[in-house]
Amino acid sequence: MQSVPVAQAAQPHAASPQPARVKPRLRGASHHIAAYVAALATAILCSQVPAGRATWSVLVYGVCMTALFAISAAYHLPMWQPGPRQWMRRLDHCAIYLQIAGTYTPICLLALSPSVGEPLLLGVWIAATAGIAKSLVWIKAPKLVSAALYVALGWAAMACWSELKVALGETGVALMVGGGVLYTVGAAIYAVRKPDPMPQVFGYHEVFHALVIAAATCHFVMVGRVAT
């Protein structure tokens, strides 16, 4: 918010500063709950899959998913001071890249052939690492830029579309695409800040968070089908 010059403030018709945006009361609440659910779901799924490659692939995925929700809740629930808030925002954005790469991990290692899955997974993790570096050094990147990078990395799997159709089957593909669409719609809402249904209670960011939970649920079911 810019200060109003003294001379301008003295004028009778000077424009008053815009009021600060009110933080919705439910900001971060859904991801707070989702973090506990994700941790429990990960533990249950790990106990159901074969030991070895499947277990640690699912564990990587589950840890990344849980971290996404836990860091998001830790960032959005409290009222941070400006300095710590910037660092929490960095971590929040980094966790999104971890979630994307984590979701690829069991799909690439358990569903796709090594000749296809391993190069794809390597490329995704390299891109995610670059995205994390971007989030650490360019925290004020426009929302549209950040959203576009998340979406592009998330849909990179389409480069292996023919293999994915065979490996996942119709139901798995539907879950993968459905989750991707939900993430994409959420990213668009995050970028344009609309719709903003109840700004003081449940605003555009809460809509975005709800769509992230729905998308993560689709992908969790997909991973469960692949791993078991």
Per-residue pLDDT tens digits for 160-184: 999 999 999 999 999 999 999 999 9
Output DSSP code: residue 155. G
Please state which of the ranges 21-30, 47-56, 108-117, 185-194 shows the lowest mean pLDDT: 21-30
CA atoms of 82 and 40, how far apart (whole Å) = 33
- Crossing angle of helices 204-227/82-106, nearest 10°? 30
Decide if pLDDT at 12 tops 80: no
The whole-number average pLDDT for the span 2-12 is 43
Domain locations along the chain: 26-227
Give the pLDDT band (50/70/90) at residue 9: very low
Backbone angles phi, psi at 202, to 5 degrees: -140, 90
* Cis peptide preceding 5, ω within 30 of 0: no
101 near 81, Cβ under 8 Å?
no
Residues in contact with 185: Cβ distance below 8 Å, sequence separation at least 6, in sequence order? 211
Instruction: Record the pTM.
Output: 0.88
**Residue 143's pLDDT is what?**
85
Q: Are 80 and 88 in contact (CB under 8 A)?
A: yes
Q: Are residues 46 and 59 in contact, defined by beta-carbon separation less than 8 angstroms?
A: yes
Q: What is the mean pLDDT of residues 11-32?
A: 71
26 CA to centre of own chain = 18
Average pLDDT, the chain: 91
Cβ neighbors of 130 (< 8 A, separation 6 or more) are none
Neighbours of 3 (CB within 10 A): 8
Q: Which two tokens stand for residue 77?
A: 């629930």
> What is the pLDDT confidence band of residue 22, given thresholds at 50, 70 and 90?
confident
pLDDT at 101 over 60: yes
> Are 131 and 146 in contact, with CB atoms under 8 Å apart?
no
R_g of the chain computed on alpha carbons: 20
CA distance 208 to 192: 11
pLDDT beyond 50 at 14: no
Residue with tokens 């390299």: 126
Q: At 142, is the secondary structure helix, strand, or coil?
A: coil
> What is the tens place of the pLDDT at every residue in 33-77?
999 999 999 999 999 999 999 999 999 999 999 999 999 999 999
Q: Which two tokens stand for residue 39?
A: 């941790």
Residue 20 pLDDT grade (very low, low, confident, very high; cuts 50, 70, 90): low
Strands in 58-145 per DSSP E: none
